[in-house]
Amino acid sequence: MSRVKRGVTTHARHKKIIDAAKGYRGRSNSSFRIAIERVEKGLQYAYRDRRNKKRSFRALWIQRINAGARLHGMKYSTLINGLNLAGIEIDRKVLADLAVKEPAAFKALVDQAQAALTKTA
């Protein structure tokens, strides 16, 4: 059986990790042993923070909707309740965008929510 030299595959595997570690500080971007630890940890952070990003954006949208609702004398929770009673299905991302960029359209939604709340009460 002939001998197999593995320099090419090892070099390719090392190069892939070193390229992924580009921009890291110290020996983390040049030493394979350290770079492999840093890259794996970076991938763990990326996986975790893809989920955390969804949470933080939802919190931001809720804050923007609440600020817009309070300008019209309403709280966030009552606005959402009124929109549900009025049968308006609009997600928080779009609602927050309306509150910031289209105040007139947001005011119309607030008025509909108030009307639905007064009709049931």
Residue 45's pLDDT band, with cuts at 50, 70 and 90, is very high
The domain of 17 spans: 7-120
Q: Is the pLDDT of residue 121 over 80?
A: no
- Predicted confidence at residue 37, as pLDDT, reads 98
Q: Would residue 15 count as lying in a domain? A: yes
- Which residues are within 8 A (CB) of 96 and not within 5 positions of it... i.e. 6 or more apart? 60, 61, 62, 64, 65, 68
* Residue 103 forms part of a structural domain: yes
Structural domain contains residue 1: no
Rounded mean pLDDT, 94-98: 97
φ/ψ of 48, rounded to 5, equals -65, -45
pTM of the model as a whole: 0.81
| Mean pLDDT, rounded, for 36-64 | 98
Domain-embedded: residue 71? yes
In a domain, 57, yes or no: yes
**CB count in 10 Å sphere of residue 79:** 24
Q: What is the pLDDT of residue 120?
A: 85
Print the SS3 string covering the chain. Answer: CCCCCCHHHHHHHHHHHHHHCCCCCHHHHCCHHHHHHHHHHHHHHHHHHHHHHHHHHHHHHHHHHHHHHHHCCCCHHHHHHHHHHHCCCCCHHHHHHHHHHCHHHHHHHHHHHHHHHHHHC
Return the structure tokens found at 57: 């954006």
- Is residue 2, in this structure, part of any structural domain at all? no
How high is the mean pLDDT of the chain? 96
Count of domains forming the chain = 1
- The reported pLDDT for the residue numbered 1 is 85
Percent of the chain's residues with pLDDT above 90: 93
Q: What is the CATH number of the domain that holds 23?
A: 1.10.1900.20
